[in-house]
A and B are shown apart, each in its own frame.
Chain A
Amino acid sequence: MSVIALPTRRDEAWRYSDIDAVATAWPLPAPESIVVPAGDDFKRAIVQDAGDIRQIEMSIGKGATASLHVLNIGGAYGRIELDVTLHEGADFHLGAAQIGGGEQNLEIVTTVTHAEPGATSRQMVRSVLGGTATGTYLGKVAVARDAQQTDSEQDVKAMLLERSATANAKPELEIFADDVKCAHGCAIGELDAMSLYYLQSRGLPPAEAKKILLQAFVAGVFDGAEDEEKLQALALTKLGELV
């Protein structure tokens, strides 16, 4: 077994990581491997609430669908790394929220490879960050030479509750086919002052008004999740701690 060297911040995929925290967990166990057989339908919800580094390698077979819902909220450093390969006509959906305060460093790092034609991938990631927390999304979509009719989308938004928080977002495309649709959008913002005022003018205390807006901000990512209600409830509790 070869021990790979501890990453440094010069490694693109670890650029914003808490390397000290990574060092204490090093060497990492082998990534979890998930193989979705052709034609299958796979669903999984992942809640990272203890400060873990999770690495998942996933292969989605011909015509299969897989949807992952991720809530990244716990620990000083929490990293979720996904390496997904799509075969012909496969479909991958990621709905993820990371919510952090204090000095938390949370990251979601994905590599989605469209290896064969006609596959679709959708990634929707929402981050809410307070204190001096850092939230990072690094998302690479690779389209192989033969993977025509690829349709991929990355929809990434972050909300900063304080100016001292940091959001990093980097959607990245590497395309070797010529008949593809790869959309990516990315926005980092703050809560809308007029919306907050409107809600407060109806009687909601400031913390409640913020919470309701943030709940709406992250809500969409868990649509269709197996544990949708549980994920929403956990997210809401965590949001309640930040406002």
Chain B
Amino acid sequence: MLKIENLHATVADKPILKGLSLAINAGEIHAIMGPNGAGKSTLSYVLGGRPGYEVTEGSATFDGQDLLALDPHERAAAGLFLGFQYPVEIPGVSNVQFLRESLNAQRKARGQEPLSGGDFLKLAREKAGLLKMDMDMLKRPVNVGFSGGEKKRNEMVQMGILDPKLAILDETDSGLDIDALRIVGDGINAIMRRPDKAVLLITHYQRLLDYVRPDFVHVLAGGRIVKSGGPELALELEREGYAEIAA
């Protein structure tokens, strides 16, 4: 589904990714762990097409298409979802309005009919329920006045509504208390654990992986994958730290 080969990327002319390769197949959940500054968030932004994140070498294909040639909205319509580490507050724009327009823009790009207001609200209510989020919050301006945990849950509600093929979740677990972590973990499983979908979890900690069990764990350090393994690798990292493994 996603194939990254020898990816090099710079931010403000500073090389961050230095030859990263990774392949993710449908039905798989991958976790990327790594120390601060390893390039984890850069990887998520490069795949999401954020301006200022420049690919200098290598490739990334998504279902056979050249992912890097697509604009951010085209990546979304192709089925990519990026869960932000710091979801953005947008005063004056209601969640439901923005999500309905986003979903319908994606559907249009795929040649599908737009969803009616009624059908959209039904869908939104269902996904909000899944994340135990109050429908009233979904009518409020995007992330404004939300706690850190609420913002992350809102990201997952958005993911549920947009129903992507591949979700890249950048530190979705940071800022969550224990209960919220379980709710978010269950949400990710309910929405994304399907044979035709895949997830790339970027995290610092093992604890989210207790709820969302990865098939593969990778260690990112110095802009490259330095070690890959099964779920036991996350436990090993938690026990011994990155210094030992990444050395």
Main SS at interface, chain B: helix
Is residue A198 contacting chain B, with contact meaning CB distance below 8 A?
A: yes
Cα A83 to Cα B80 in complex, Å, equals: 55
Contact status of A201 and B76, CB under 8 A, knowing A193-B51, A208-B101, A208-B105 = yes
Task: Give the CA-CA distance A117 to B50 in the complex, in Å.
Answer: 54
Chain B CB within 8 A of A176 CB? no
Q: Judging by beta carbons under 8 Å apart, are B162 and A200 in contact?
A: no
In-complex Cβ contact of A203 among B50, B73, B141 (8 A): B73
Bound-state Cα–Cα, A203 to B48, Å:
11
Contact residues, A159-213 vs B (CB, 8 A): 192-195, 197-206, 208-209, 212-213
Cα distance A226–B84 when bound, in Å?
Answer: 40
Q: Is B64 interfacial (CB-CB < 8 Å)? A: no
Asked if A204 contacts B101 (CB within 8 A), the reply is yes
- Select from chain B the residue with minimum beta-carbon distance to A197: B50
Residues on A with beta carbons closer than 8 Å to the beta carbon of B71? 200, 205-206
CA distance A215 to B72 in the complex (A): 21
Q: When chains A and B are docked, how far (Å) is the Cα of A192 from the Cα of B93?
A: 14
Determine the distance from Cα of A198 to Cα of B51 in the docked complex, in whole angstroms.
Answer: 11
Report whether A206 and B73 are in contact in the complex, using a CB–CB cutoff of 8 Å: yes
CA distance A56 to B151 in the complex (A): 47
- Provide 20 A-B residue pairs closer than 8 Å at the C-beta atoms, listed in order of the A residue: A192-B88, A193-B51, A197-B72, A198-B84, A198-B88, A199-B98, A201-B49, A201-B50, A201-B75, A201-B82, A202-B76, A202-B99, A202-B102, A203-B73, A203-B106, A203-B109, A204-B73, A205-B71, A216-B93, A217-B92
Interface residues of B (CB under 8 A from A): 48-51, 71-73, 75-77, 82, 84, 87-88, 90-93, 97-99, 101-103, 105-106, 109, 141, 158, 162
> Which of the four size classes fits the interface of chain A?
20 to 34
How distant is the Cα of A44 from the Cα of B20 in the complex, in angstroms?
A: 62
Contact among B48, B51, B72, B91 with A216 in the assembled complex (CB-CB below 8 Å): B91
Measured between beta carbons, the chain A residues less than 8 angstroms from B50 are 197, 201
Partner of B90, one of A195, A200, A201: A195
Q: How far is the CA of A205 from the CA of B77 in the complex (A)?
A: 10
A204-B105, A212-B98 as given contacts; A198 in contact with B87, CB under 8 Å: yes
B35 to chain A, nearest CB (A): 25
B110 to chain A, nearest CB (A): 10
Residues of B with C-beta under 8 A to A205: 71, 73, 105
Q: How far is the CA of A208 from the CA of B99 in the complex (A)?
A: 12
A interface residues with partner B (beta carbon < 8 Å)? 192-195, 197-206, 208-209, 212-213, 215-217, 219-220
Known A-B contacts A194-B88, A208-B105; the reply to A213 vs B93 at CB < 8 A is yes
State whether A203 touches B103 (Cβ < 8 A): yes
Give the chain B neighbours of A206 by CB distance below 8 A. Answer: 71, 73
Q: Give B50's nearest chain A residue, CB to CB.
A: A197
What's the Cα separation between A200 and B51 when bound, in Å? 11
Which B residues are CB-close (under 8 A) to A215? 92-93
Contacts of A219 in B (CB 8 A): 92
Give every chain B residue within 8 A of A213 (Cβ-Cβ): 90, 93
- Closest chain A residue to B110 by CB distance? A203
The chain B residue with its CB closest to the CB of A214 is B92
- Inter-subunit contact B102/A203 (CB<8 Å): yes
Name the residue of chain A whose CB is nearest to the CB of B90.
A195
**Which one of B48, B101, B103, B109 contacts A201 once the chains associate, using CB atoms below 8 Å?**
B48
State whether A200 touches B72 (Cβ < 8 A).
yes
Separation of A200 and B105 alpha carbons in the complex (Å): 10
Residues in A neighbouring B87, C-beta threshold 8 A: 198
Q: What separation, in Å, do the CA atoms of A220 and B105 have in the docked complex? A: 25
- Closest Cβ–Cβ distance, residue B145 to chain A (whole Å): 15
- For B107, the closest partner residue in chain A by CB is A203
Query: A201-B49, A201-B76, A217-B92 given. 17 additional CB < 8 A pairs?
Result: A194-B88, A195-B90, A198-B90, A199-B90, A201-B48, A202-B73, A202-B158, A203-B77, A203-B102, A203-B109, A204-B98, A204-B101, A205-B105, A208-B101, A209-B73, A212-B101, A220-B92
